Amino acid sequence: MASRRNQRVSTIFKLKRSQATLDFVDVDVERDTRVFVSPRALTLMQTDWGDGCVSLIQNFFQTVLQHIKNGQNAKAEALLQELREPNETHLGMSQGQSRGRALGSESAHDVWTALSQSAAAKSGLIQDLEDTVLLIHGVSVDIVSDITTNIIRGPLIEYTQEQARQLGIPLTKGVPSGPMWHPGRGEWITDFVELPMAKTGKLLLVPKSVVRRTSLYDMQYFYRHYMLEEMQREELKAGSALVTMLKKGPKVHKSDLIEKYGNDKKAVIEQTLKRPEVLDQYKKDMGKKPFLPLSHEDLGNVEGDKPIDWDSLLGAVTSLGTGAENAEAYEKAIEALLTALFYPDLSHPIYQHEIHDGRKRIDIKYTNMGGAGFFEWVAKHYMAPQVFVECKNYGNEVANPELDQLSGRFGRSRGNVGILVCRRFRNKAKFEQRCRDTALDDRGYVIALDDEDLKALVESRKSDKESVYREFALLRQRFDAIIS
């Protein structure tokens, strides 16, 4: 029997890439990887792709709830019945072969029943999809993940096609898409699309940045630490029979509240309906807490991967000979290394990104999702929704033309921060002065890195804590030099 590792997407399609160097979850196609698509993680992306997914989810869920409120239960159930098992992502909690846990015809009816009979749905307490983990009986984080996957199937298909074309994964034409939500028509549509195929069927690739191991919301935590504490205050104020006199003063025990009111989802819903402001406070507080993407180490633990071989990633760059014959290999090696180094702050790398109707190309374009450290700082203080990388595998001096080439890719909507990576500088100080001149001329901010700089970044990643290496002190030093 083949090992699990041999059933990963990277192995099946001979990508010669590790999980750390891939933007998507490198799933086992024969069994589920135990992570979940999180609607809240999509809201944190703050990218066009993420915003589009969030809009689809909100539109679908609001449409279903509106049908229920209008008494159009058949329409609501019909929409829910299209939420089939999304086995093509291979994410979730299925034991053995991937099965998915979204809504078939029977479970769709169960959820419709729960929604239609739920006072929470009718009252408007359910404001987004992840609320259902708290407020609808029988709906848990893995089901929310599968529902989300179904609703954003269209964007996931586009993402999968993009990743496949970049990495050389074969695409098969005429594959049934499965239901895709059309917000304008308020209905499901289907099409024939291009998708990768494995022996287990079609594949949908999911960005690492949108998966988590748990939900942001926890029903029991909400009930015990928010709802029961509010109920304690109310019972004390009313002087109810649940008040016990202690040496320190009157007290209402949570165990007594649970015995009287219960602690299952029915109890949560009943008590929340009476005190909706408590749920609002809980959601507000949870919104302030970090809900971070899984680290390399987290993902490695999920799949039992070996630690990242940073020296090999660096060696793939530094071992190449200079010159045009190795330019493509150099660009791919740089992208693999930087994708691993800068995750989770930079995501969604695009090779040879075209701008100006194809008249200009950017070697690598990253989306800046910086949630800490240098990339968060640069996004707050400068125009940096995207970060551009130009790769120069030159044996001779990198000079003004190469610098101007990168700065010419900047723009108001794209950003004006980039990284120029080359093998070596004959006079690094002189080139850094050229970068400073470019910034002073208001033509953007270019950080120059050579092989030695990449080595320093790798050593920081290997030895420092996350809070330290994500500061990318070397990048901040170079940036400060060009703006001083």
Strand partners, 368: 346
Half-sphere exposure of 174 toward its Cβ, with a 13 Å CA cutoff? 0
pLDDT value of position 107 = 62
Per the structure block, which two tokens stand in for 363? Answer: 């070697």
Per the structure block, which two tokens stand in for 60? Answer: 């679908």
All residues at 6 or more sequence positions from 325 whose CB lies less than 8 Å from its CB, including other chains: none
Interatomic CA distance for residues 56 and 79, integer angstroms? 14
Interatomic CA distance for residues 100 and 142, integer angstroms? 9
Closest CA to 146 of 134, 137, 156, 161: 156
pLDDT band, residue 310 (cuts 50/70/90): very high
pLDDT value of position 360 = 52
Could you please report the per-residue DSSP string of 389-403?
EEEE--SS---HHHH
pLDDT tens figures, 235-266:
999 999 999 988 888 999 999 999 999 999 88
Closest CA to 453 of 417, 434, 433, 479: 479
Interatomic CA distance for residues 13 and 479, integer angstroms? 39
Strand partners, 346: 368
Sign, CA torsion 402/405/409/415: positive
Q: What is the pTM of this model?
A: 0.87
Interatomic CA distance for residues 365 and 357, integer angstroms? 16
Could you please report the per-residue DSSP string of 263-283?
-SHHHHHHHHHH-HHHHHHHH
Q: Is 341 exposed, middle or buried (0-12, 13-18, 19+ CB in 10 A)?
A: buried
Which ranges in 382-450 belong to alpha helices (H)?
Answer: 400-407, 428-440
All residues at 6 or more sequence positions from 356 whose CB lies less than 8 Å from its CB, including other chains: none
pLDDT tens figures, 178-224:
999 999 999 999 999 999 999 999 999 999 999 999 888 888 999 99
pLDDT at residue 349 is higher than 90: yes
Classified as helix, coil or strand, 71 is: coil
pLDDT value of position 376 = 94
pLDDT value of position 411 = 67
Round the CA-based radius of gyration of the chain to a whole number and report it.
26
pLDDT band, residue 274 (cuts 50/70/90): very high
Alpha-carbon distances, residue 51 vs 55, 152, 438 (angstroms): 6, 11, 33
pLDDT value of position 111 = 73
Q: Which of 337-341, 383-387, 463-467 is the least confident region?
A: 463-467
Interatomic CA distance for residues 4 and 96, integer angstroms? 11
Classified as helix, coil or strand, 13 is: coil
pLDDT at residue 134 is higher than 60: yes
Residue in the structure block whose two tokens are 């025990």 = 253
pLDDT value of position 140 = 79
pLDDT value of position 100 = 46
Q: Which of 54-68, 80-94, 191-205, 444-458 is the least confident region?
A: 80-94
Other CB atoms within 10 A of residue 462 CB? 13
Farthest-apart Cα atoms in the chain, separation: 86
Other CB atoms within 10 A of residue 128 CB? 15
pLDDT value of position 49 = 93
pLDDT value of position 247 = 86
Classified as helix, coil or strand, 354 is: strand
Q: Which residue has the higher pLDDT, 49 or 484?
A: 49
Alpha-carbon distances, residue 321 vs 329, 392, 393, 424, 448 (angstroms): 10, 12, 8, 12, 20
Domains and CATH numbers, the chain: 4-212 (no CATH), 219-288 (no CATH), 309-483 (3.40.91.30)
Which ranges in 343-391 belong to alpha helices (H)?
Answer: 373-381
Residue in the structure block whose two tokens are 């649940």 = 242
pLDDT tens figures, 403-447:
767 766 776 767 889 999 999 888 888 888 888 888 888 888 999
Classified as helix, coil or strand, 73 is: helix
pLDDT value of position 359 = 44
